[in-house]
A and B are shown apart, each in its own frame.
Chain A
Amino acid sequence: MLNVLLVDDDSEFSDVVCHIVEFLGHNINTAANLAEAEQWFENNTFDHVFLDFMLPDGSGLHLLEHLKAIGQSPRVTLISGHPSVKGKLAEMCEPNVGHLVKPLQREDIERVLNPKKAAPKKKATPAIKRHFGTLIGESEVMQKLYTMIERVAATSANVMLMGESGAGKEVVAQAIHNATDCDGPLVATNCGAFSKELIGSELFGHEKGAFTGAIARKEGVFEQAAGGTLFLDEVTEMPIDMQPNLLRVLESKKVTRVGGTKEQAVNCRVISATNRTLTDLAQNNVIREDIYFRLAVFPIDIPPLRERKEDIPLLANAFLEQLNEENGTDFKWQAAQIKELEAHDWPGNVRELRHAIHRAFIMSDPKGSVITLPDSLESPFSKVNKESQANQVVAGQTIEEVEKELIHATLDKVQGNKTIAAQMLGISTKTLYNRLNAYGGIGEYK
Protein backbone atom coordinates (compact mmCIF):
# COMPACT_ATOMS: atom_id res chain seq x y z
CA MET A 1 0.00 0.00 0.00
CA LEU A 2 1.37 3.38 -1.04
CA ASN A 3 0.83 6.85 0.43
CA VAL A 4 -0.24 9.03 -2.47
CA LEU A 5 -0.72 12.81 -2.76
CA LEU A 6 -2.75 14.26 -5.62
CA VAL A 7 -2.15 17.93 -6.36
CA ASP A 8 -4.81 19.28 -8.74
CA ASP A 9 -7.18 22.25 -8.65
CA ASP A 10 -9.98 20.34 -10.43
CA SER A 11 -11.94 19.08 -7.41
CA GLU A 12 -14.26 16.81 -9.43
CA PHE A 13 -11.29 15.08 -11.06
CA SER A 14 -9.54 14.77 -7.67
CA ASP A 15 -12.65 13.23 -6.18
CA VAL A 16 -12.93 10.47 -8.75
CA VAL A 17 -9.18 9.74 -8.74
CA CYS A 18 -9.42 9.29 -4.95
CA HIS A 19 -12.08 6.61 -5.44
CA ILE A 20 -9.99 4.78 -8.00
CA VAL A 21 -6.68 4.97 -6.10
CA GLU A 22 -8.40 3.82 -2.88
CA PHE A 23 -9.94 0.94 -4.80
CA LEU A 24 -6.45 -0.03 -5.96
CA GLY A 25 -5.59 -0.37 -2.27
CA HIS A 26 -3.59 2.80 -1.63
CA ASN A 27 -3.97 5.79 0.73
CA ILE A 28 -4.58 9.10 -0.95
CA ASN A 29 -4.71 12.77 0.12
CA THR A 30 -5.40 15.79 -2.04
CA ALA A 31 -4.15 19.36 -2.35
CA ALA A 32 -5.76 21.99 -4.58
CA ASN A 33 -2.65 24.16 -4.98
CA LEU A 34 1.10 24.39 -4.31
CA ALA A 35 0.65 25.96 -0.85
CA GLU A 36 -1.58 23.09 0.33
CA ALA A 37 0.82 20.52 -1.13
CA GLU A 38 3.78 22.07 0.67
CA GLN A 39 1.76 22.01 3.87
CA TRP A 40 1.12 18.25 3.48
CA PHE A 41 4.86 17.67 3.21
CA GLU A 42 5.55 19.50 6.47
CA ASN A 43 4.44 16.58 8.62
CA ASN A 44 4.03 13.71 6.15
CA THR A 45 5.96 11.65 3.68
CA PHE A 46 4.48 10.29 0.45
CA ASP A 47 5.55 7.45 -1.82
CA HIS A 48 3.98 8.93 -4.92
CA VAL A 49 2.76 12.38 -6.00
CA PHE A 50 0.38 13.04 -8.90
CA LEU A 51 1.05 16.64 -9.81
CA ASP A 52 -0.91 18.88 -12.14
CA PHE A 53 1.40 20.95 -14.31
CA MET A 54 -0.61 24.17 -14.11
CA LEU A 55 -1.79 25.12 -10.64
CA PRO A 56 -3.53 28.34 -9.52
CA ASP A 57 -0.46 29.55 -7.57
CA GLY A 58 2.28 28.41 -9.94
CA SER A 59 3.72 25.54 -11.96
CA GLY A 60 3.94 22.00 -10.62
CA LEU A 61 7.68 22.22 -11.23
CA HIS A 62 7.91 24.56 -8.22
CA LEU A 63 6.83 21.70 -5.98
CA LEU A 64 9.63 19.55 -7.42
CA GLU A 65 12.12 22.26 -6.40
CA HIS A 66 10.53 22.48 -2.95
CA LEU A 67 10.82 18.70 -2.48
CA LYS A 68 14.52 18.86 -3.37
CA ALA A 69 14.99 21.65 -0.87
CA ILE A 70 13.39 19.72 2.01
CA GLY A 71 15.21 16.52 1.01
CA GLN A 72 12.18 14.41 0.08
CA SER A 73 12.19 12.27 -3.04
CA PRO A 74 8.87 10.57 -3.70
CA ARG A 75 8.11 9.31 -7.21
CA VAL A 76 6.30 12.11 -9.05
CA THR A 77 3.94 11.82 -12.01
CA LEU A 78 3.26 15.12 -13.70
CA ILE A 79 -0.17 15.39 -15.25
CA SER A 80 -0.50 17.84 -18.08
CA GLY A 81 -2.85 18.65 -20.89
CA HIS A 82 -0.11 18.85 -23.46
CA PRO A 83 2.44 16.32 -24.73
CA SER A 84 5.10 19.05 -25.13
CA VAL A 85 5.71 18.91 -21.35
CA LYS A 86 7.42 15.59 -21.95
CA GLY A 87 10.23 17.42 -23.75
CA LYS A 88 10.73 19.78 -20.82
CA LEU A 89 10.89 16.81 -18.42
CA ALA A 90 13.50 15.09 -20.56
CA GLU A 91 15.64 18.24 -20.27
CA MET A 92 15.40 18.04 -16.48
CA CYS A 93 16.77 14.44 -16.46
CA GLU A 94 14.87 13.59 -13.29
CA PRO A 95 14.78 9.79 -12.92
CA ASN A 96 12.03 9.96 -10.31
CA VAL A 97 9.62 12.01 -12.40
CA GLY A 98 7.18 10.52 -14.89
CA HIS A 99 4.53 12.06 -17.04
CA LEU A 100 0.91 11.42 -18.04
CA VAL A 101 -1.17 13.33 -20.56
CA LYS A 102 -4.84 14.11 -19.96
CA PRO A 103 -7.34 12.53 -20.38
CA LEU A 104 -6.14 9.85 -17.95
CA GLN A 105 -7.23 6.22 -17.77
CA ARG A 106 -7.27 3.82 -14.83
CA GLU A 107 -4.54 1.71 -16.44
CA ASP A 108 -2.24 4.76 -16.49
CA ILE A 109 -2.70 5.22 -12.75
CA GLU A 110 -2.26 1.51 -12.08
CA ARG A 111 0.90 1.39 -14.19
CA VAL A 112 2.64 4.31 -12.50
CA LEU A 113 1.68 3.18 -8.99
CA ASN A 114 2.67 -0.40 -9.56
CA PRO A 115 4.97 -0.66 -12.58
CA LYS A 116 5.76 -4.35 -12.05
CA LYS A 117 2.26 -5.66 -11.51
CA ALA A 118 0.40 -3.55 -14.04
CA ALA A 119 2.43 -4.76 -17.00
CA PRO A 120 1.36 -8.42 -17.08
CA LYS A 121 -2.22 -7.42 -16.30
CA LYS A 122 -2.55 -5.88 -19.73
CA LYS A 123 -1.96 -9.17 -21.45
CA ALA A 124 -4.17 -11.04 -19.00
CA THR A 125 -6.11 -13.92 -20.46
CA PRO A 126 -9.56 -12.97 -21.70
CA ALA A 127 -12.14 -13.02 -18.94
CA ILE A 128 -13.92 -16.32 -18.42
CA LYS A 129 -17.46 -16.10 -19.68
CA ARG A 130 -20.13 -16.42 -17.02
CA HIS A 131 -23.39 -17.45 -18.67
CA PHE A 132 -26.35 -15.57 -17.19
CA GLY A 133 -23.81 -13.85 -14.94
CA THR A 134 -23.15 -16.99 -12.90
CA LEU A 135 -22.53 -20.23 -14.80
CA ILE A 136 -19.09 -21.28 -16.05
CA GLY A 137 -18.57 -24.01 -18.65
CA GLU A 138 -18.65 -24.49 -22.41
CA SER A 139 -19.17 -28.28 -22.55
CA GLU A 140 -21.99 -29.79 -24.58
CA VAL A 141 -24.02 -30.72 -21.49
CA MET A 142 -23.76 -27.16 -20.20
CA GLN A 143 -24.78 -25.72 -23.60
CA LYS A 144 -27.92 -27.87 -23.36
CA LEU A 145 -28.50 -26.54 -19.85
CA TYR A 146 -28.13 -22.93 -21.09
CA THR A 147 -30.71 -23.56 -23.81
CA MET A 148 -33.14 -24.97 -21.24
CA ILE A 149 -32.58 -21.98 -18.93
CA GLU A 150 -33.20 -19.57 -21.81
CA ARG A 151 -36.40 -21.34 -22.80
CA VAL A 152 -37.84 -21.59 -19.31
CA ALA A 153 -36.84 -18.02 -18.42
CA ALA A 154 -39.21 -16.76 -21.12
CA THR A 155 -42.12 -18.47 -19.34
CA SER A 156 -43.40 -18.34 -15.78
CA ALA A 157 -43.32 -22.14 -15.31
CA ASN A 158 -42.17 -23.64 -12.03
CA VAL A 159 -38.83 -25.41 -12.31
CA MET A 160 -37.45 -28.37 -10.38
CA LEU A 161 -33.69 -28.68 -10.36
CA MET A 162 -32.24 -32.12 -9.87
CA GLY A 163 -28.59 -32.79 -9.39
CA GLU A 164 -26.04 -34.25 -7.05
CA SER A 165 -24.90 -32.34 -4.02
CA GLY A 166 -22.45 -29.60 -5.00
CA ALA A 167 -23.45 -29.57 -8.68
CA GLY A 168 -24.64 -25.95 -8.40
CA LYS A 169 -28.41 -26.00 -7.98
CA GLU A 170 -28.51 -22.60 -6.28
CA VAL A 171 -26.27 -21.14 -9.00
CA VAL A 172 -28.62 -22.45 -11.70
CA ALA A 173 -31.59 -20.97 -9.79
CA GLN A 174 -29.76 -17.63 -9.80
CA ALA A 175 -29.11 -18.02 -13.54
CA ILE A 176 -32.81 -18.63 -14.26
CA HIS A 177 -33.69 -15.62 -12.13
CA ASN A 178 -31.11 -13.45 -13.95
CA ALA A 179 -32.40 -14.58 -17.34
CA THR A 180 -36.00 -13.82 -16.39
CA ASP A 181 -37.38 -10.39 -17.12
CA CYS A 182 -38.73 -9.63 -13.63
CA ASP A 183 -38.49 -6.84 -11.06
CA GLY A 184 -38.75 -8.85 -7.85
CA PRO A 185 -35.90 -10.42 -5.87
CA LEU A 186 -34.62 -13.99 -5.67
CA VAL A 187 -35.48 -15.36 -2.23
CA ALA A 188 -33.75 -18.61 -1.29
CA THR A 189 -34.85 -20.83 1.55
CA ASN A 190 -33.90 -24.31 2.69
CA CYS A 191 -36.89 -26.55 3.37
CA GLY A 192 -34.72 -29.08 5.19
CA ALA A 193 -33.76 -26.49 7.79
CA PHE A 194 -37.28 -25.62 8.98
CA SER A 195 -38.63 -26.94 12.24
CA LYS A 196 -42.02 -28.56 11.84
CA GLU A 197 -43.66 -25.92 14.03
CA LEU A 198 -42.29 -22.94 12.15
CA ILE A 199 -42.51 -24.13 8.56
CA GLY A 200 -45.92 -22.54 7.99
CA SER A 201 -44.78 -19.21 9.35
CA GLU A 202 -41.56 -19.30 7.28
CA LEU A 203 -43.35 -20.06 4.04
CA PHE A 204 -46.56 -18.10 4.43
CA GLY A 205 -45.75 -15.52 7.15
CA HIS A 206 -47.76 -14.84 10.28
CA GLU A 207 -49.89 -12.11 11.83
CA LYS A 208 -48.97 -10.46 15.12
CA GLY A 209 -50.13 -12.66 18.00
CA ALA A 210 -50.82 -15.69 15.79
CA PHE A 211 -48.95 -17.88 18.27
CA THR A 212 -46.76 -17.46 21.38
CA GLY A 213 -43.69 -15.53 20.34
CA ALA A 214 -45.27 -13.94 17.26
CA ILE A 215 -44.59 -10.44 18.55
CA ALA A 216 -44.82 -8.78 15.15
CA ARG A 217 -46.29 -9.44 11.74
CA LYS A 218 -43.95 -11.37 9.47
CA GLU A 219 -43.89 -11.77 5.72
CA GLY A 220 -43.41 -15.32 4.45
CA VAL A 221 -40.98 -16.20 1.68
CA PHE A 222 -43.79 -16.28 -0.92
CA GLU A 223 -44.57 -12.62 -0.14
CA GLN A 224 -40.88 -11.64 0.02
CA ALA A 225 -40.36 -13.04 -3.47
CA ALA A 226 -43.28 -11.09 -4.95
CA GLY A 227 -42.66 -10.41 -8.63
CA GLY A 228 -39.44 -12.45 -8.50
CA THR A 229 -38.29 -15.99 -7.83
CA LEU A 230 -38.67 -18.24 -4.78
CA PHE A 231 -35.99 -20.91 -4.48
CA LEU A 232 -37.02 -23.85 -2.30
CA ASP A 233 -33.85 -25.85 -1.72
CA GLU A 234 -34.06 -29.46 -0.52
CA VAL A 235 -37.80 -29.41 -1.10
CA THR A 236 -37.98 -33.19 -0.67
CA GLU A 237 -36.80 -32.83 2.91
CA MET A 238 -39.99 -30.99 3.86
CA PRO A 239 -42.13 -33.17 6.18
CA ILE A 240 -44.69 -34.89 3.98
CA ASP A 241 -47.60 -33.87 6.22
CA MET A 242 -46.72 -30.21 5.64
CA GLN A 243 -46.75 -30.56 1.88
CA PRO A 244 -50.55 -30.14 1.41
CA ASN A 245 -50.19 -26.53 2.66
CA LEU A 246 -47.62 -25.86 0.00
CA LEU A 247 -49.79 -27.54 -2.62
CA ARG A 248 -52.68 -25.23 -1.74
CA VAL A 249 -50.55 -22.15 -2.39
CA LEU A 250 -49.19 -23.55 -5.63
CA GLU A 251 -52.69 -24.42 -6.88
CA SER A 252 -54.60 -21.34 -5.76
CA LYS A 253 -51.67 -18.89 -6.20
CA LYS A 254 -52.87 -17.29 -2.99
CA VAL A 255 -51.32 -17.31 0.45
CA THR A 256 -52.85 -16.67 3.87
CA ARG A 257 -50.55 -15.72 6.75
CA VAL A 258 -50.71 -17.95 9.83
CA GLY A 259 -53.36 -16.43 12.10
CA GLY A 260 -54.60 -14.19 9.28
CA THR A 261 -57.81 -14.18 7.30
CA LYS A 262 -56.93 -12.15 4.25
CA GLU A 263 -55.60 -13.96 1.19
CA GLN A 264 -52.70 -12.40 -0.67
CA ALA A 265 -51.99 -13.08 -4.31
CA VAL A 266 -48.72 -14.86 -5.07
CA ASN A 267 -46.94 -13.95 -8.28
CA CYS A 268 -43.48 -15.48 -8.06
CA ARG A 269 -41.88 -18.32 -9.98
CA VAL A 270 -41.04 -21.27 -7.74
CA ILE A 271 -37.75 -23.03 -8.38
CA SER A 272 -37.31 -26.08 -6.20
CA ALA A 273 -34.29 -28.32 -5.88
CA THR A 274 -33.48 -31.79 -4.69
CA ASN A 275 -30.40 -33.98 -4.74
CA ARG A 276 -32.49 -37.14 -4.88
CA THR A 277 -32.86 -39.09 -8.11
CA LEU A 278 -36.21 -39.62 -9.84
CA THR A 279 -36.22 -43.27 -8.75
CA ASP A 280 -35.54 -42.21 -5.21
CA LEU A 281 -38.46 -39.77 -5.36
CA ALA A 282 -40.78 -42.45 -6.68
CA GLN A 283 -39.72 -45.21 -4.32
CA ASN A 284 -39.22 -43.46 -1.00
CA ASN A 285 -42.34 -41.37 -0.71
CA VAL A 286 -40.48 -38.15 0.06
CA ILE A 287 -42.70 -35.92 -2.02
CA ARG A 288 -46.39 -36.12 -2.80
CA GLU A 289 -47.13 -36.88 -6.42
CA ASP A 290 -49.50 -33.89 -6.77
CA ILE A 291 -46.86 -31.51 -5.41
CA TYR A 292 -44.20 -32.99 -7.68
CA PHE A 293 -46.25 -32.21 -10.78
CA ARG A 294 -46.91 -28.66 -9.58
CA LEU A 295 -43.25 -27.99 -8.82
CA ALA A 296 -41.68 -29.90 -11.69
CA VAL A 297 -43.58 -28.34 -14.58
CA PHE A 298 -40.14 -28.03 -16.11
CA PRO A 299 -37.59 -30.38 -14.52
CA ILE A 300 -33.92 -29.64 -15.21
CA ASP A 301 -31.09 -32.11 -14.59
CA ILE A 302 -27.83 -30.45 -13.61
CA PRO A 303 -24.93 -32.57 -14.87
CA PRO A 304 -22.37 -33.76 -12.30
CA LEU A 305 -18.84 -32.44 -12.80
CA ARG A 306 -17.50 -35.85 -13.90
CA GLU A 307 -19.76 -35.62 -16.98
CA ARG A 308 -18.27 -32.30 -18.03
CA LYS A 309 -14.59 -32.73 -17.24
CA GLU A 310 -13.64 -30.42 -20.14
CA ASP A 311 -14.99 -27.54 -18.00
CA ILE A 312 -12.56 -28.25 -15.14
CA PRO A 313 -9.75 -26.01 -16.56
CA LEU A 314 -12.21 -23.10 -16.96
CA LEU A 315 -13.60 -23.57 -13.46
CA ALA A 316 -10.13 -24.00 -11.93
CA ASN A 317 -8.94 -20.79 -13.60
CA ALA A 318 -12.05 -18.86 -12.54
CA PHE A 319 -11.73 -19.97 -8.89
CA LEU A 320 -8.00 -19.23 -8.79
CA GLU A 321 -8.53 -15.84 -10.45
CA GLN A 322 -11.09 -14.95 -7.80
CA LEU A 323 -8.77 -16.01 -4.95
CA ASN A 324 -5.91 -14.03 -6.54
CA GLU A 325 -8.09 -10.95 -6.74
CA GLU A 326 -9.32 -11.27 -3.17
CA ASN A 327 -5.81 -11.76 -1.77
CA GLY A 328 -3.68 -9.67 -4.13
CA THR A 329 -1.66 -12.73 -5.20
CA ASP A 330 -0.63 -13.95 -8.64
CA PHE A 331 -0.81 -17.74 -8.52
CA LYS A 332 -1.02 -19.67 -11.76
CA TRP A 333 -1.83 -23.25 -12.72
CA GLN A 334 0.68 -25.51 -14.37
CA ALA A 335 -0.52 -27.75 -17.19
CA ALA A 336 0.24 -30.92 -15.19
CA GLN A 337 -1.85 -29.67 -12.26
CA ILE A 338 -4.87 -29.04 -14.49
CA LYS A 339 -4.44 -32.58 -15.85
CA GLU A 340 -4.41 -33.88 -12.27
CA LEU A 341 -7.64 -32.00 -11.52
CA GLU A 342 -9.22 -33.39 -14.68
CA ALA A 343 -8.25 -36.94 -13.73
CA HIS A 344 -10.13 -36.77 -10.41
CA ASP A 345 -13.77 -37.83 -10.30
CA TRP A 346 -15.07 -35.05 -8.01
CA PRO A 347 -17.96 -36.90 -6.33
CA GLY A 348 -18.66 -33.63 -4.44
CA ASN A 349 -18.85 -31.85 -7.81
CA VAL A 350 -18.04 -28.14 -8.33
CA ARG A 351 -18.27 -27.46 -4.59
CA GLU A 352 -15.57 -30.06 -3.92
CA LEU A 353 -13.37 -28.67 -6.72
CA ARG A 354 -13.72 -25.17 -5.32
CA HIS A 355 -12.82 -26.31 -1.80
CA ALA A 356 -9.83 -28.31 -3.06
CA ILE A 357 -8.54 -25.22 -4.90
CA HIS A 358 -9.08 -23.02 -1.86
CA ARG A 359 -7.19 -25.54 0.29
CA ALA A 360 -4.32 -25.66 -2.23
CA PHE A 361 -4.30 -21.84 -2.36
CA ILE A 362 -3.87 -21.62 1.42
CA MET A 363 -1.11 -24.24 1.37
CA SER A 364 0.89 -22.51 -1.37
CA ASP A 365 3.93 -20.36 -0.66
CA PRO A 366 2.63 -16.76 -0.78
CA LYS A 367 5.98 -15.53 -2.13
CA GLY A 368 5.86 -17.84 -5.16
CA SER A 369 3.49 -17.97 -8.09
CA VAL A 370 3.10 -21.74 -8.31
CA ILE A 371 0.15 -23.27 -6.56
CA THR A 372 0.76 -26.42 -4.53
CA LEU A 373 -1.79 -29.19 -4.91
CA PRO A 374 -2.05 -31.67 -2.02
CA ASP A 375 -0.68 -35.20 -2.55
CA SER A 376 -4.19 -36.58 -2.70
CA LEU A 377 -7.32 -34.80 -3.83
CA GLU A 378 -9.57 -37.29 -2.06
CA SER A 379 -11.88 -35.95 0.62
CA PRO A 380 -13.30 -38.14 3.41
CA PHE A 381 -16.63 -38.08 1.62
CA SER A 382 -15.23 -39.05 -1.76
CA LYS A 383 -13.61 -42.12 -0.16
CA VAL A 384 -16.86 -43.19 1.46
CA ASN A 385 -18.79 -42.57 -1.76
CA LYS A 386 -16.31 -44.54 -3.81
CA GLU A 387 -16.45 -47.49 -1.45
CA SER A 388 -20.20 -47.50 -1.29
CA GLN A 389 -20.45 -47.11 -5.06
CA ALA A 390 -17.94 -49.88 -5.62
CA ASN A 391 -19.84 -52.24 -3.40
CA GLN A 392 -23.18 -51.59 -4.99
CA VAL A 393 -24.93 -54.58 -6.45
CA VAL A 394 -26.73 -53.83 -9.68
CA ALA A 395 -29.61 -55.91 -11.00
CA GLY A 396 -28.48 -57.77 -14.11
CA GLN A 397 -25.09 -58.82 -12.72
CA THR A 398 -24.39 -62.54 -12.55
CA ILE A 399 -23.65 -64.22 -9.22
CA GLU A 400 -20.18 -64.99 -10.53
CA GLU A 401 -19.51 -61.30 -11.25
CA VAL A 402 -20.69 -60.23 -7.79
CA GLU A 403 -18.64 -62.97 -6.17
CA LYS A 404 -15.56 -61.90 -8.11
CA GLU A 405 -16.06 -58.26 -7.11
CA LEU A 406 -16.52 -59.20 -3.46
CA ILE A 407 -13.37 -61.32 -3.42
CA HIS A 408 -11.31 -58.58 -5.09
CA ALA A 409 -12.69 -55.88 -2.75
CA THR A 410 -11.86 -58.05 0.27
CA LEU A 411 -8.33 -58.75 -0.98
CA ASP A 412 -7.81 -55.01 -1.65
CA LYS A 413 -8.86 -54.23 1.90
CA VAL A 414 -6.33 -56.64 3.43
CA GLN A 415 -3.53 -55.76 1.01
CA GLY A 416 -3.78 -59.10 -0.79
CA ASN A 417 -3.40 -61.30 2.32
CA LYS A 418 -5.28 -64.41 1.22
CA THR A 419 -5.45 -66.10 4.63
CA ILE A 420 -7.18 -63.09 6.24
CA ALA A 421 -9.35 -62.54 3.14
CA ALA A 422 -10.53 -66.16 3.21
CA GLN A 423 -11.41 -65.80 6.90
CA MET A 424 -13.38 -62.62 6.22
CA LEU A 425 -15.20 -64.29 3.32
CA GLY A 426 -15.99 -67.37 5.40
CA ILE A 427 -14.28 -69.77 2.98
CA SER A 428 -11.11 -71.81 3.13
CA THR A 429 -7.87 -70.46 1.69
CA LYS A 430 -7.94 -73.34 -0.80
CA THR A 431 -11.42 -72.33 -2.04
CA LEU A 432 -10.21 -68.74 -2.40
CA TYR A 433 -7.27 -69.91 -4.54
CA ASN A 434 -9.61 -72.07 -6.63
CA ARG A 435 -11.95 -69.12 -7.22
CA LEU A 436 -9.10 -66.80 -8.17
CA ASN A 437 -7.76 -69.40 -10.59
CA ALA A 438 -11.22 -69.78 -12.08
CA TYR A 439 -11.38 -66.00 -12.67
CA GLY A 440 -8.28 -66.14 -14.80
CA GLY A 441 -5.40 -66.66 -12.40
CA ILE A 442 -4.19 -65.14 -9.16
CA GLY A 443 -2.72 -62.20 -11.13
CA GLU A 444 -2.12 -59.12 -9.00
CA TYR A 445 -2.79 -61.04 -5.76
CA LYS A 446 0.24 -63.35 -6.01
Chain B
Amino acid sequence: MNNNESLRKMVHDARAPLNRISMNAELVKLVLENDMPKQKALEALNKIIANCQQCSEHLQEISDAHAAD
Protein backbone atom coordinates (compact mmCIF):
# COMPACT_ATOMS: atom_id res chain seq x y z
CA MET B 1 0.00 0.00 0.00
CA ASN B 2 1.53 3.37 -0.95
CA ASN B 3 1.54 6.29 1.49
CA ASN B 4 -1.44 8.05 -0.05
CA GLU B 5 -3.62 4.99 0.01
CA SER B 6 -2.59 4.20 3.56
CA LEU B 7 -3.47 7.75 4.68
CA ARG B 8 -6.84 7.54 2.92
CA LYS B 9 -7.59 4.27 4.73
CA MET B 10 -6.66 5.79 8.10
CA VAL B 11 -8.83 8.89 7.50
CA HIS B 12 -11.68 6.61 6.44
CA ASP B 13 -11.33 4.68 9.71
CA ALA B 14 -11.30 7.92 11.74
CA ARG B 15 -14.53 9.03 10.04
CA ALA B 16 -16.49 6.03 11.37
CA PRO B 17 -16.42 7.13 15.06
CA LEU B 18 -17.12 10.73 13.95
CA ASN B 19 -20.20 9.47 12.14
CA ARG B 20 -21.38 7.66 15.30
CA ILE B 21 -20.74 10.79 17.39
CA SER B 22 -22.81 12.88 14.99
CA MET B 23 -25.78 10.50 14.97
CA ASN B 24 -25.71 9.92 18.72
CA ALA B 25 -25.67 13.69 19.26
CA GLU B 26 -28.72 13.95 16.98
CA LEU B 27 -30.41 11.30 19.13
CA VAL B 28 -29.71 13.31 22.31
CA LYS B 29 -31.26 16.35 20.62
CA LEU B 30 -34.36 14.29 19.76
CA VAL B 31 -34.67 13.06 23.35
CA LEU B 32 -34.38 16.57 24.78
CA GLU B 33 -36.70 18.19 22.25
CA ASN B 34 -39.40 15.57 22.72
CA ASP B 35 -39.30 14.78 26.40
CA MET B 36 -38.27 11.15 25.80
CA PRO B 37 -36.76 8.92 28.55
CA LYS B 38 -33.52 10.42 29.95
CA GLN B 39 -31.87 6.99 29.90
CA LYS B 40 -31.73 7.04 26.09
CA ALA B 41 -29.87 10.34 26.11
CA LEU B 42 -27.42 9.07 28.73
CA GLU B 43 -26.65 5.94 26.69
CA ALA B 44 -26.07 8.06 23.58
CA LEU B 45 -23.81 10.46 25.51
CA ASN B 46 -21.73 7.54 26.81
CA LYS B 47 -21.35 6.31 23.23
CA ILE B 48 -20.27 9.79 22.15
CA ILE B 49 -17.58 9.83 24.84
CA ALA B 50 -16.31 6.35 23.87
CA ASN B 51 -16.22 7.31 20.18
CA CYS B 52 -14.31 10.52 20.92
CA GLN B 53 -11.68 8.30 22.50
CA GLN B 54 -11.63 6.05 19.42
CA CYS B 55 -11.39 9.02 17.09
CA SER B 56 -8.47 10.35 19.10
CA GLU B 57 -6.70 6.99 18.78
CA HIS B 58 -7.17 7.06 14.99
CA LEU B 59 -5.78 10.58 14.82
CA GLN B 60 -2.78 9.49 16.88
CA GLU B 61 -2.26 6.64 14.40
CA ILE B 62 -2.28 9.13 11.52
CA SER B 63 0.11 11.40 13.39
CA ASP B 64 2.49 8.51 14.17
CA ALA B 65 2.42 7.33 10.54
CA HIS B 66 3.20 10.88 9.39
CA ALA B 67 6.08 11.15 11.86
CA ALA B 68 7.51 7.79 10.65
CA ASP B 69 7.56 9.02 7.00
Contacts and interface: CB of A to CB of B under 8 A. Distances in A.
A binds B: yes
Interface of A: 10, 12-13, 16-17, 19-20, 23, 54, 81-82, 102-106
B22 interface: yes
B19 A103 contact: yes
A5 to B, nearest CB: 17
A12 B30 contact: no
Given A12-B47, A16-B24, A20-B23, A106 B16 contact: no
Given A10-B20, A12-B47, A103 B27 contact: no
B13 to A, nearest CB: 9
Contacts of B21: 103
A10 B15 CA distance: 12
Interface string B1-27: 000000010011001101111111011
Q: How many B residues are at the interface, by size bracket?
A: 20 to 34
B34 to A, nearest CB: 8
Contacts of B23: 13, 16-17, 20, 103-104, 106
Contact of B15 (A16, A17, A23, A103): A103
A384 B63 CA distance: 78
A163 B28 CA distance: 38
A102 B27 contact: no
A102 B30 contact: no
Nearest to B51: A12
A106 B26 contact: yes
Contact of B26 (A10, A81, A105): A105
Given A16-B23, A17-B23, A106 B15 contact: no
Contacts of A54: 12
A19 B21 CA distance: 14
A134 B18 CA distance: 35
Contact of B29 (A13, A17, A81, A106): A106
Chain B interface main SS type: helix
A387 B48 CA distance: 62
B1 to A, nearest CB: 16
A102 B18 CA distance: 8
B16 A16 contact: no
B59 to A, nearest CB: 15
B40 to A, nearest CB: 8
B26 A20 contact: yes
29 contacts: A10-B16, A10-B19, A12-B20, A12-B47, A13-B19, A13-B20, A13-B23, A16-B20, A16-B23, A16-B26, A16-B27, A16-B44, A19-B27, A19-B30, A20-B23, A20-B27, A23-B30, A23-B34, A81-B15, A81-B16, A102-B15, A102-B18, A102-B19, A103-B22, A104-B23, A105-B22, A105-B26, A106-B29, A106-B30
B47 to A, nearest CB: 7
Contacts of A106: 23, 26, 29-30
Nearest to B15: A81
Contacts of A105: 22, 26
A242 B30 CA distance: 47
A103 B15 CA distance: 7
Interface string B26-43: 110110001000001000
Nearest to B50: A12
A54 B12 CA distance: 10
A19 B43 CA distance: 13
Nearest to A103: B22
A105 B19 CA distance: 9
Nearest to A106: B26
Nearest to B47: A12
Contacts of A16: 20, 23-24, 26-27, 44, 47
A154 B12 CA distance: 52
B12 A81 contact: yes
Closest 3 CB pairs of A and B: A103-B22, A106-B26, A102-B19
